[in-house]
A and B are shown apart, each in its own frame.
Chain A
Amino acid sequence: MNDVAALRNKAAVIGVGTTRYGSFPETDDYGLGAEAFRNAVEDCGIDKNEIDGLLVCRIPYYGRMGEILGLDPRWTMPLPPHGRMSGMGIVEATIALATGRANYVALIYANIGRSRRVNYGGEGTSFWDPWGMTSPGASHALMFRRHMALYGTTTRQLAEVPVAFRYHAGLNPTAVMRKPITIEDHEAARPIVEPLRLLDYCLINDGAVCLIMTTADRARDFKKPPVFVSGVGGQEAYSNASIGNFDIDFWYEPTRRAGEEAYAMAGVGHADVDALMCYDNFSPTVLFALEGLGFCGPGESGGFVEGGALRIGGRLPMNTDGGHLSNSYMQGWALNVEAVRQLRHECGPRQVKDAEVVQFVEATPCCRSIVYTRG
């Protein structure tokens, strides 16, 4: 199997589990991870001892996670606590399943960053520290300033992103931030690193997510209909890695490649995508992802998102759970769970009607896109 396209529909998500989202100083990464795992096991009804693959992200020690869950898998993959590992992890789990390294993989992500007061910036390890250049938000601010200058994009257009996602969070009972906001609220919010404002920054909260995946031939034996991984694509962009979370060309080329690979494998195109789940640590990356994927041309995303286009019922519903900006900072993992729930049609008031194809994308130094379809 030398052609990645052979992965089409070879693996499926059969169970998903999430925890509460908020501040939980009484527990830790492992406690949250175990709660999400138990919820995912319950969701699909699997005997947890059947699980022979374990992928963990932002969990301090994979072995301790296995000990806690009573798992001695055949396959393990630990991923670092970076906010771009979810797509990578799901693709690698798909490959492990397709090649027989595991029959059932549990993917567990936990984040205790709120209780532990994690700061994103000022770590003191960068060549650029002496000039005060730090934080992923500042990198996105640098990119957005450039986007404004090159294409005339405005902060009011940028505001459409957090406003739409907050609207979705209002329809999601588990979301952390549910109070509606307006474009004017965005414009009046305090600046953090200009041109970005508070409402362009994602949340930092505790919580955990688990997905359970298996092979296509095993996927129909469980409580819920399977959701298939129909297309995957990826491309990294490391050439400016010393400026973290930054790409001078807005990750266009790697996002384009990841998207085209995923569409070709799945046999779908833009018009087939019923909802798009986009890694949204900061609102500008949503604009960059839309352009990179080709939902609009370079520089056209500001116009594309106007008028509530990203809301359910709009031109392209995005981040229907509220995303990182308003639901929960689960670094892409919860967005993949939302893709599954949308395709199971179990999203209640935030359900995208008749959803058949949902795409995930992360425009980051590790661009990934995944096309999910209903089994």
Chain B
Amino acid sequence: MDDQPYRKPLPAMDPLTRPFWDHARAGRLAVQACTHCGDVHVPPTPVCPKCLSDEQEWRVASGRGTLMSWVVFHRAYWDGFADELPYAVCLVKLDEGPLLASNFASGMTGELAVGAPVEAVFERATDDVVLPKFRLA
């Protein structure tokens, strides 16, 4: 039974970021790409940071990346994380280029190492929100 209210921060879901979360809910990791110059970025931007074009689209990424770093929180900056302390946050560089802050997949095992290959998994937070997370590949 998991009808406990979800108490962690939820995404803002504004027009700019909603496609990211729509893709995530469908089990896809998407990145914003400029159709003019090809620059790929997350979080999304209203114009392309490289060429300032409005012509941007969302592309499904490979979900593969490299573990750049990780940390372990012993302090809950939001009450919703208090029950999970300590919890880890990882930093992943997607093969497509962008850097993402995320979490490791629930119950993941294995030796963490900077430089290790990782892959995206998708974990439900609420009926509307699925969070892309990562596990060692």
By a beta-carbon cutoff of 8 Å, the part of chain A in contact with chain B is 119, 121-122, 124, 127-135, 138, 141-143, 145-146, 149-150, 190-196, 239-240, 242-243, 248
Contact = CB atoms under 8 A, between A and B. Distances in A.
B114 A150 contact: yes
22 contacts: A127-B11, A129-B78, A130-B10, A130-B125, A131-B133, A134-B78, A138-B71, A138-B73, A138-B89, A142-B89, A150-B114, A191-B86, A192-B74, A192-B75, A193-B71, A194-B71, A194-B86, A195-B71, A239-B49, A243-B91, A243-B101, A248-B99
A132 B99 contact: no
Contacts of A134: 77-78
Nearest to B129: A130
Interface string B83-95: 0101101010000
A194 B86 CA distance: 10
Contacts of A146: 68-69, 114
Given A145-B70, A146-B114, A132 B75 contact: no
Interface of B: 8-12, 17, 42-43, 49, 68-75, 77-78, 81, 84, 86-87, 89, 91, 99, 101-103, 113-115, 125, 129, 131, 133
Given A128-B101, A129-B9, A132-B87, A193 B72 contact: yes
Contacts of A194: 71-72, 74, 86
A121 B68 CA distance: 22
A127 B74 contact: no
A138 B101 CA distance: 11
Contact of A130 (B11, B74, B84, B87): B11
Contact of A143 (B69, B74, B87, B129): B69
Nearest to A147: B69
Given A128-B101, A130-B9, A131-B131, A242 B75 contact: no
A360 B113 CA distance: 35
| 6 closest A-B pairs by CB | A122-B77, A149-B114, A129-B9, A133-B101, A121-B77, A194-B72
A196 B73 CA distance: 10
Nearest to B43: A127
B78 A133 contact: no
A248 B99 CA distance: 9
A127 B125 CA distance: 16
Given A131-B89, A131-B103, A124 B17 contact: no
Contacts of A141: 71
Contacts of A132: 8-9, 73, 77-78, 81, 84, 87, 89, 103
Contacts of B71: 138, 141-142, 145, 193-196
B77 A135 contact: yes
A132 B87 CA distance: 9
Nearest to A121: B77
Which residue of B17, B72, B99 has the most chain A CB atoms within 10 A of its CB atom? B72
Contacts of A145: 69-71, 114
Contacts of A135: 77
Contact of B74 (A124, A128, A190): A190
A141 B12 CA distance: 26
Given A149-B114, A193-B72, A194-B71, 8 more contacts: A130-B10, A138-B71, A138-B73, A145-B71, A146-B69, A193-B71, A195-B71, A240-B99
B74 A131 contact: no
B8 A130 contact: yes
A318 B114 CA distance: 31
A146 to B, nearest CB: 4
Contacts of B49: 239
